[in-house]
Amino acid sequence: MKKWYAVIGDPIAHSLSPFMHDLWMDEHGVDASYIPVHVKPARLKESFDALKTLGVGGFNITLPHKQAIVPFLDELDETAIIMDAVNTVTFDGQSYKGWNTDGDGFVRSLMTEQIALHEKVLIIGAGGAARGIAFALKRANFHDVSIANRTYQRAEELAAATGSEAITMQDAEKSLGDFRIIIQTTSVGLAEGEALPLSLDQIQPDSLVADIIYTPLETPFLKAAKEKGCRILNGVGMFVYQGAIAFEKWTGIRPDTEKMIHIITDKLG
């Protein structure tokens, strides 16, 4: 029987995951479909039951269900436990297992740039996205990671959990020139004209500045970094790699990521 996969979220119409997975399935000769399913929060449990009844092969989870799905799953991967959030579910014929591929997706995207593990990294933010990235950087053996956050206590907690350093936003601004890799994970400065999460006055032009957002392709933060002469990395790579890790778990095939980053970038550009 033909396999099928899905992505659930609310809203879901904007999701690029069906486009991406369908293309990969075509390209790699996988006889399967991938469909978007609109699931309201109050109907998460019955929607999951319906997916099971209808024989879903696996699925992705987007906002706002990443945490809410956790109690319904049979098993969790270690990263999903740390995150208490799931973006991918696999089914081995017996149990539904939750994974979180967001942080590793970001780090794979980062590793396509010319960077070394000893370089000084600054994460701005200490929310869910920052948590995934901080743990993934640790797994990838980056040894010098600092975390700055508006609420300093959250930076301290995340730093303690990941063996990183917590730093105040003020100190991060002052010492920005020391960091070679700067990762912006907050939702601040998404809109044109909004203040940036921190001033880039002290940044060095040989730094790499990454944002996890991909709509717009260039956030005001990335634009400001580019004006300072920095290399920039938007969130398209993270999106493509988190999906590639899920695709590989479902099909055993490592899909073509480089071409997909170009295709998605063109589509959004």
- Which DSSP symbol is given to 213? -
Q: Does 149 bind ligand ATR (CB under 6 A)?
A: yes
Cis peptide before 11 (omega within 30 of 0): yes
Q: 103, 66 in Cβ contact below 8 A?
A: no
Cβ proximity to ligand ATR, 56 vs 213, nearer residue? 213
Show the site string, 179-208: x = touches ligand ATR by CB under 6 A, - = not.
------xxxx--------x-----------
Is 13 annotated in some ligand binding site? Answer: no
Catalytic residue among 45, 52, 66, 267: 66
Q: Is 66 a catalytic residue?
A: yes
Binding flag, residue 60, ligand ATR (CB under 6 A): no
Q: What single string gives the DSSP state of each residue in 165-191?
A: EEE-HHHHHHTGGG-SEEEE-SSTT-S
Q: How far is the CB of 235 from ligand ATR (least distance, A)?
A: 11
Q: What is the signed CA dihedral for 156, 128, 94, 249, rounded to 10 degrees?
A: -100
207 closest CA partner among 231, 172, 227: 231
* Residue 161 marked in a binding site: no
- State how far the Cα of 46 lies from the Cα of 56, in Å rounded to an integer: 14
Ligand-binding site membership of 80 (annotated): no
Size of the site for ligand ATR (CB under 6 A): 15
Q: Which residue is nearest to ligand ATR (CB)?
A: 127
The stretch among 91-99, 123-131, 232-240, 242-250 that binds ligand ATR (CB under 6 A) is 123-131
Stretch of 8-16, 30-38, 119-127, 259-267 contacting ligand ATR, by CB under 6 A: 119-127
E-strand spans in the chain? 3-9, 32-38, 58-61, 75-76, 88-91, 96-99, 121-124, 145-148, 165-167, 181-184, 208-211, 231-233
**If DSSP codes are grouped into helix, strand and coil, which group holds residue 128?**
helix
Q: Can you give the C-alpha Rg of the chain in angstroms?
A: 19
Q: Is 257 in the site for ligand ATR (CB under 6 A)?
A: no
The residue range among 17-25, 147-155, 175-183, 199-207 that interacts with ligand ATR, by the rule CB under 6 A, is: 147-155
Which of 161, 148, 133 is CA-nearest to residue 233? 133
Q: Which residues are catalytic?
A: 66
What residue ranges bind ligand ATR (CB under 6 A)? 125-130, 149-151, 154, 185-188, 197
Q: Which residues are annotated as a binding site?
A: 15-17, 62, 78, 87, 102, 125-129, 149-154, 212, 214, 235, 242
Q: Which residues are annotated as a binding site for NADP(+)?
A: 78, 125-129, 149-154, 212, 235
